Structure formats: structure tokens, C-alpha cells
Amino acid sequence: MPPGFHLLIAAQFVSALSDNALLIVAIALLQQQGNPAWWAPLLKFSFTIAYVVLAPFVGPLADGFPKARLMMAMNALKVGGVLALLAGLSPLGAFCIIGVGAAAYAPAKYGLVTELVGPRQLVAANGWVEVTTVCAVLLGAVLGGVLVSPGMARMLLLLWPGLDALSAATWLLLIGYGLAAVLNLWLPDSGARYRRAHRSPKALVRAFVRAQARLWRDPEGGLSMAVTTLFWGAAAVLQFAVLRWAVDVLGLALGRAAYLQAVVAVGVVGGAALAARRVQLAQALRVLPLGILMGLAVPLVACIDSWQMALPLLLLVGALGGAMVVPLNALLQHRGHQLLSAGRSIAVQNFNENFSVLLMLGLFAVLLALGLDVRTIMVALGVLVAVLVTLLWRRARRRRPASVAPA
């Protein structure tokens, strides 16, 4: 990998670790405030909405400035969101601010990866990004679970007697955001420069719509984007469904339920690492059957009432998902970089994937508010994923072999 790549990985890991730990702490805060359980997925909804609303603008923003400096600025904005939470802002409002920072951070991060790394290394580079991102989800869930545990609460109250335990935990996470901002100071400049877009918001939206149409019409780009869009929407629902299932069905406390959520992330790490080593860019579409198996495994998890029996299935679900999404994500970035610019292609990808997250999380929250059992939701989710990936796989098989050999 080129110089500076691993520093980029470290910076995004620390930032994502803080995001995921803060999510668990914020869920505990909502419970402490007496809010209903269906508010929990709205935290992710609030975080994600900026990805959709700002999608036409963050791509040109990422291409218009040195990406490392933009990433540092967006981490500083996340710090502002955490400070607002500590000052008394609603967790939903604070996650909106943090989401704005994350929405502009993502195209800068992935765009810098695409600029630094050549096509032959792009699957491996995406493997690094996805593995460390999922490790951040894993360790963030564990860290958040530890921070909201009774033992840690007592320790935090001893260290900061003037604060409640959740506020003290939030102050600790603020250090992580600050560290991520500092790490971005030493990221290299790729040297890539794009003409800065001095256009009206309406013109930027029209350009974004054209970019959407161009990437969706591309055979490899459109197919890979359909799969990754479905995957990330389903993964967001599964993240909260596993938490709710562990609490309602297995009778675990929130802190321990977060550990089960982390088991899925362990599987994703393993699957993503294997795909990064074994799958070439030209073979990316061959991993689609793994998505079918992943969908079929989710209903099996929902039928289990013992955490010991659930562990291997949760690992399997994560491994299948990780092995599928890394090659397809690399293919999507490769085609996007060829058809558009690095920042604009990532912005298009983020819009679609996060629109899926908003849609599916919103539906999940509505179903919970209506009193539907979480196991029924998990079964329906798994069947939906299996059916849709099967249709996309059949579409891929009807086409001639993909012409995505590295340049």
C-alpha cells in the first residue's frame, strides 16, 4: 500500500469507533430519559439523514478541497455534536450534527483511497477499509457496552463525582473524536485536483441526478450498487434487531446485548479479510450467492432462544455479508472512479446506500411501534434479502462476463 494509507485507516478507525460506542451510550441515555424502545433506531436515522440530504453537495466538496484537511474539519464538527449532547441537546439532534460531519467525511475518505491506490490493489484496499470499519463497529459496540455497564458506571462516578455516569462516558468518547482529527493532520495529499464547482445548489442537484443516472445505467456499476444498497440497509436493521432480540428474547441487559451485536461484526471482519485476499476485481460478481446464504441464515437466528447457540450463526451471517460486500464495493468504486470523479462517485454511492438505511430503519421503527415481534421482523428481513439477491444474481448470470479487468 502507498505511504499514508495505513494512517488513513487508523484515522477512520478511531472516528468510527467513537461513533459506534456513542450509539450504545445514546441508546442508554434514551432509556434513562424514559423514551420508548422504538426511538433507538431513530438515532441511526438521525445520523444517516445527512448522507441523503447533502449527497449532491458533499461530492463536489470532497473534490474541491484537499481531502485530508476536509476529513479533519469534519471530525471537528463531530466534536461539536458531542459537546452539544453534553450541553443538553437531545440525542437525536446531536446525532444529526454528527451525521453531517460523517456525510462529508465519507466521500473524502473513500475518494482518497481511490486516488492513492491503483485498480490492482483496490479490492485489497477496500478489504482494509471494510475490515477496520467493521472492527470499529465491533469494538465500538463492546466499548459502548462496557461504558453503560453498572461496574463502569460506578467507576466513572468515582472519577467524576460531579457528573452522571453517561455524561462521563460521553466525555471519554470525546477524546476519540479529537484523536481522529489529529491523525488527519498527517495524512498525505494524493496530488489529485479537480475543478472546483462554483455553481448554484440547483445546478449541483442537476449534476448529481445526471451522475446517479450514469452510474445506475452502467452494467457493473448499477448491479454492484443495487447489492451494496440492499446490504447496508439490511445491515442497519440487523444491528438494532439483534440488540432488541437479545434483550427481549434472550433477556440480556443492553451492555451484554451489545456484545452479541459485536459477534456479527467479528464475522464480517473474517469474511471481508478472506475476500480481500482471494477475490480479484474481475471476479467481484461471483460472490453474489453468499448474499443469498446470508439472507437465509437470519431467520435461523430469530428462531434461537439461547445465546450460546446463536453465536456461530451470528458469526456466519457476518462472514457471508463481509465476503460479499467487499468485492462488490471495490467494483462499484472502480466503475464510479472511471465514469465520474472520486468524490462524486462516492457521494452517489452514499446517497443510495443511506437512503436504503433510512427507508429500512424507518420501517423497522414503525413495525416496533405497532408492536410487531422482533423475531417476525428478522425472518421477513432475511427472506427479503435472499429473494432480492437471487434476482440480482440471475440478472448477472444472464449478462456476459464483466469487463472490469484492472487497467
Query: What pLDDT digit, counting tens, does each position of 20-56 carry?
Result: 899 889 988 988 888 887 888 888 889 989 888 888 8
Assess if residue 251 is contained within a domain.
Answer: yes
Structural domain total, the chain? 1
Structural domain for 268, as ranges: 5-180+200-398
H or E element: which one contains 247?
A: helix 219-248
Check whether 399 has a pLDDT greater than 70. no
Residue 401's pLDDT is 47
Closest CA to 25 of 130, 152, 134: 152
Closest CA to 328 of 396, 387, 281: 281
Side-chain half-sphere exposure of 261, counting CA atoms within 13 A = 35
Residue 380's pLDDT is 92
pLDDT tens for each residue of 289-326 = 888 999 999 999 888 888 888 889 888 998 898 888 87
Assess if residue 191 is contained within a domain.
Answer: no
CATH at 46: 1.20.1250.20
Q: What is the torsional sign of CA 259, 264, 265, 271?
A: positive
pLDDT tens for each residue of 128-159 = 777 787 778 778 878 888 888 888 878 887 87
Check whether 243 has a pLDDT greater than 90. no
Q: How confident is the model at residue 405 (pLDDT cuts 50, 70, 90)?
A: very low
Residue 198's pLDDT is 56
User: How far from each other are the two terminal CA atoms of the chain, in whole angstroms?
Assistant: 17
Assess if residue 106 is contained within a domain.
Answer: yes
Say how far apart CA 253 and CA 247 lie, in whole Å. Answer: 6
- The whole-chain average pLDDT of the chain stands at 82
Assess if residue 391 is contained within a domain.
Answer: yes
Assess if residue 350 is contained within a domain.
Answer: yes
| Secondary structure of 332-378 in HEC code, one letter for each residue | HHHHHHHHCCHHHHHHHHHHHHHHHHHHHHHHHHHHHHCCCCHHHHH
Amino acid at the residue 173: L
- For 292, phi then psi, to 5°, come to -65, -45
Residue 215's SS3 state is helix
For residues 202-217, give the mean pLDDT: 85
Assess if residue 239 is contained within a domain.
Answer: yes
Assess if residue 407 is contained within a domain.
Answer: no
Residue 214 vs residues 11, 42, 338, 339: alpha-carbon distances, Å: 32, 32, 11, 8
pTM over 0.85: no
Side-chain half-sphere exposure of 60, counting CA atoms within 13 A = 17
Assess if residue 404 is contained within a domain.
Answer: no
Please, which contacts does 210-218 make with residues 24 or more away whose CB atoms are closer than 8 Å? 211/59, 211/340, 211/344, 211/345, 211/347, 211/348, 212/348, 212/351, 212/352, 214/339, 214/340, 215/335, 215/336, 215/339, 215/340, 215/345, 215/348, 215/349, 218/335, 218/339
